[in-house]
């Protein structure tokens, strides 16, 4: 009996010792980064911190894999939770590789974001490109234009599950960073046709853009009517509810009419971004019709310009 009690005591002490260690490690960005165990061939490109949780986004240039690590521990009495999410990407995220010394400069305020060499908070949010800045740049043929909004956390690879089928909610191989919900803004994704069924994908982040060659999601191409489309994107952003944690706002050309479609996840809980498939009742959809908003073109027309 004494042996069993002694063994039980050892197990209890081990539990508290281990939990105390991990809880202490999670009190700093460096400690949390060590706990998630990022391999040496992955480059850190973003960090998100909110109370007892951390997210680390990495990019492997050899395998062209984008990955998000999530780790949290609510108290000394609870076990840590660790999750990962990964996806192949056609985009080159190498220019966004971070100096690990920046982990020492994490702000006390939460939530906070480290991206492109800078720490951001709700008081000092990232400055995303506006609809005006992006739309006016593309008064030429494009294949796709979408805005990806996240209020909190780092997002990749998100789907809506309906019965046995899954539908993409975001743009799966794009890392979406949060804007903290202070302003109607997000990450822009544009695809430009390059002929022969190829596209160049351009992703606009705060003060930074990355590119990659990709197979197009849609084979059609079109030209947008600048001012009405810009207004519709802004309206769609303003229509997002306070409970929206993630949304994709995308233009579809039904020449001469354009539809600005919004698909939004209207709830939030810590770690929601690590969920890959969402049930239908999580989603909210809305469409803004823009008369004379676009004109369908062909890749061959663009190649002749």
Q: How many CB atoms lie within 10 A of CB 193?
A: 27
Q: What is the pLDDT of residues 71-84, one digit of tens each?
A: 997 645 556 688 99
Q: What are phi and psi of 7, to 5 degrees?
A: -65, -40
Q: What is the pLDDT of residues 131-180, one digit of tens each?
A: 888 988 877 889 999 999 999 999 998 876 655 666 677 778 999 999 99
Residue 218 confidence (pLDDT) above 80 = no
* Polymer length in residues for the chain: 305
Q: What is the pLDDT of residues 234-250, one digit of tens each?
A: 999 999 988 899 999 99
Find the Cα–Cα–Cα–Cα dihedral 32, 34, 37, 41, rounded to 10°: 120
Give yes or no for a contact between 217 and 206, defined as CB atoms under 8 angstroms apart.
no
Q: What is the pLDDT of residues 38-75, one digit of tens each?
A: 999 999 999 999 988 999 999 999 999 999 999 997 64
Q: Per residue, what are the HEC states of the chain?
A: CHHHHHHHHHHHHHHHHHHHHHHHHCCCHHHHHHHHCCCCCCEEEEEEEECCEEEEEEEECCCCEEEEEEEECCCCCCCCEEEEEEEECCCCCHHHCCCHHHHHHCCCCCCEEEECCEEEECCCCCCCCCHHHHHCCCCCCECEEEEEEECCCCECCCEEEECCEEEECCCCCCCECCCCCCCCCCEEEEEEEEECCEEEEEEEECCEEEEEEECCCCCCEEEECHHHHHHHHHHHHHCCCCCCCEEEEEEEEECCEEEEEEEEECCCCCCHHHCCEEEHHHEEEEEEEECCCEEEECHHHHHHC
% of the chain exceeding 70 in pLDDT: 84
For residue 172, the number of C-alpha atoms closer than 13 Å in the C-beta half-sphere is 18
**pTM for the full predicted model:** 0.88
pLDDT at 303: 44
């Amino acid at each position: 009996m004494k042996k069993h009690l002694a063994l039980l005591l050892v197990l209890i002490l081990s539990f508290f010792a281990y939990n105390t260690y991990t809880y202490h490690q999670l009190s700093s960005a460096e400690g949390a980064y060590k706990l998630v165990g990022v391999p040496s061939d992955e480059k850190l490109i973003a960090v998100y911190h909110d109370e007892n949780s951390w997210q680390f986004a990495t990019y492997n240039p050899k395998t062209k894999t984008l990955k998000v690590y999530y780790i949290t521990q609510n108290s000394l009495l609870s076990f840590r939770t660790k999750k990962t999410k990964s996806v192949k990407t056609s985009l080159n995220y190498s220019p966004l590789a971070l100096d690990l010394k920046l982990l020492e400069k994490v702000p006390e305020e939460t939530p906070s974001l480290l991206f492109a060499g800078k720490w951001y908070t709700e008081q000092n949010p990232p400055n995303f490109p506006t609809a005006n800045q992006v739309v006016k740049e593309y008064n030429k043929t494009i294949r796709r234009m979408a805005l990806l909004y996240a209020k909190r956390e780092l997002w990749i690879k998100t789907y809506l599950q309906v019965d046995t089928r899954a539908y993409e909610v975001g743009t799966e191989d794009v890392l979406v960073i949060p804007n903290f919900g202070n302003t109607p803004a997000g990450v822009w994704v544009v695809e430009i046709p390059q002929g022969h069924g190829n596209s160049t994908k351009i992703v606009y982040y705060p003060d930074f853009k990355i590119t990659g060659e990709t197979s197009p999601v849609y084979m059609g191409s079109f030209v947008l009517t600048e001012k009405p489309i810009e207004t519709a994107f802004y309206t769609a952003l303003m229509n997002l509810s306070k409970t929206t944690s993630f949304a994709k706002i995308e233009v579809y050309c039904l020449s001469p009419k354009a539809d600005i479609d919004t698909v939004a996840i209207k709830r939030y809980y810590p770690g929601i971004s690590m969920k890959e498939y969402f049930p239908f009742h999580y989603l909210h959809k809305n469409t803004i019709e823009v008369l004379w908003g676009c004109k369908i073109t062909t890749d061959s027309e663009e190649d002749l310009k």
